């Protein structure tokens, strides 16, 4: 175990020098990936020379390639998902968004909740809802062919038959469900077109189509979510939409009373920053 710890310590120092935010964790995750064990099981690995694969992974991470691209996996709530180039890597803050939706669906007096996930990406939100809300039926919409392929792979791998994937645009998708849906959820692109993300992992590796929203303020897709949710939801149904921390007020007003929305609320993530807006479609 001494050699293993020494190699991880050296790798940690290299990642820290490169500015990686969680160098020890990432070094251990790469070591676990190379040895085919969980990070918590590294203590079971016998001392051995690390092969080139470990240091290749460390070099890639030091160059700020996302850890998830190196290991091919992203963890979201209770799921392990396949990810890679061409799909947005799900973030921890989105787990809070999905959690609110899951709690709300469990509270509904509905035997078989009908849910639509607009812009599903890897399928993280849709698959979490299907896994955690008994008897739910989830329709996941993704127009980008690369992201669609990753979502399909995850749905098949997890054997989740209650997630139905649709290669459609969120603006005019699923007309057959108009007025029937209990909850619409979305983590759409919302970065203004002129802005540049600070983190290289986001700026250089996440697909631009998943990052940058249309309209000057980046909220074009959130406006599209509002219109589509208004069309799909039954009276009393809910919409949940993620946004950047500085966009809470603007998104709040997109879901206006004039359009039939009620109980509009801003919600914060675990860091105390505005992260998503929820609203209920009026019943009058």
pLDDT of residue 48: 62
Backbone Cα Rg of the chain: 20
Q: In whole angstroms, give the CA distance from residue 186 to residue 229.
A: 10
Residue 141 half-sphere exposure, CB side, CA atoms within 13 Å?
23
Q: Helix or strand or coil: residue 141?
A: strand
Q: What is the reported pTM?
A: 0.92
Residues 37 and 45 sit within 8 Å (Cβ to Cβ): yes
Phi, psi of 271, deg, nearest 5: -95, 0
Q: Helix or strand or coil: residue 168?
A: coil
Which residues contribute to the annotated binding site for substrate? Answer: 187-190
CB within 8 Å of 256: residues ≥ 6 apart: none
Q: In whole angstroms, give the CA distance from residue 274 to residue 125.
A: 19
Q: In whole angstroms, give the CA distance from residue 173 to residue 84.
A: 26
- Other CB atoms within a 10 A radius of the CB of residue 111 amount to 7
Residues 260 and 231 sit within 8 Å (Cβ to Cβ): no
CATH T-level topology, domain 84-281:
Rossmann fold (3.40.50)
Token pair of 16, please? 């820290």
CB within 8 Å of 283: residues ≥ 6 apart: 235, 236
Q: In whole angstroms, give the CA distance from residue 40 to residue 32.
A: 8
Of 58, 61, 3, the C-alpha closest to 31 is 58
Which residues contribute to the annotated binding site? Answer: 119-123, 142, 187-190
pLDDT of residue 177: 98
Which regions of the chain are under pLDDT 70? 1-3, 47-50, 284
Residues 252 and 266 sit within 8 Å (Cβ to Cβ): yes
| Cα–Cα distances in angstroms (integers) from residue 57 to residues 62, 70, 72, 107, 234, in the given order | 9, 6, 12, 44, 48
Q: In whole angstroms, give the CA distance from residue 256 to residue 235.
A: 15
Place of tokens 């080139």: 52
Q: In whole angstroms, give the CA distance from residue 74 to residue 89.
A: 7
Q: In whole angstroms, give the CA distance from residue 276 to residue 284.
A: 25
Q: In whole angstroms, give the CA distance from residue 176 to residue 66.
A: 39
Q: In whole angstroms, give the CA distance from residue 170 to residue 232.
A: 11
Q: Helix or strand or coil: residue 50?
A: coil
Q: In whole angstroms, give the CA distance from residue 99 to residue 171.
A: 25
pLDDT of residue 196: 79
Which residues contribute to the annotated binding site for S-adenosyl-L-methionine? Answer: 119-123, 142, 187
Of 175, 81, 68, 178, the C-alpha closest to 120 is 81
């Amino acid at each position: 175990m001494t050699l293993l710890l020494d190699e991880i310590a050296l790798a940690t120092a290299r990642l820290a020098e490169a500015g990686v935010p969680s160098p020890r964790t990432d070094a251990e995750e790469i070591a676990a990936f190379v040895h085919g064990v969980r990070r918590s099981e590294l203590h079971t690995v016998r001392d051995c020379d690390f092969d080139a694969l470990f240091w290749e992974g460390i070099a890639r991470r030091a160059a700020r390639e996302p850890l998830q691209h190196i290991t091919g996996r992203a963890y979201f709530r209770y799921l392990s998902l396949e990810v890679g180039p061409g799909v947005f890597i799900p973030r921890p803050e989105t787990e809070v968004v999905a959690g609110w939706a899951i709690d709300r669906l469990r509270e509904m007096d509905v035997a078989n909740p009908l849910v639509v996930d607009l812009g599903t990406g890897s399928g993280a939100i849709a698959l979490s809802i299907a896994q955690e809300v008994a008897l739910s039926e989830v329709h996941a919409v993704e127009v980008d062919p690369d992201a669609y392929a990753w979502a399909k792979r995850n749905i098949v791998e997890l054997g989740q038959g209650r997630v139905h994937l649709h290669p459609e645009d969120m603006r005019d998708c699923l007309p057959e469900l108009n007025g029937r849906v209990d909850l619409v959820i979305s983590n759409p692109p919302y970065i203004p077109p002129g802005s540049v993300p600070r983190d290289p992992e986001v700026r250089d590796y996440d697909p631009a189509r998943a990052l940058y929203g249309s309209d000057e303020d980046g909220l074009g897709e959130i406006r599209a979510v509002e219109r589509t949710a208004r069309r799909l939801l039954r009276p009393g149904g809910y919409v949940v939409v993620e946004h950047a921390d500085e966009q809470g007020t603007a998104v709040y007003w997109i879901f206006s009373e004039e359009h039939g929305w009620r109980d509009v609320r801003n919600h914060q993530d675990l860091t105390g920053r505005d992260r998503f807006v929820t609203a209920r479609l009026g019943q009058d």
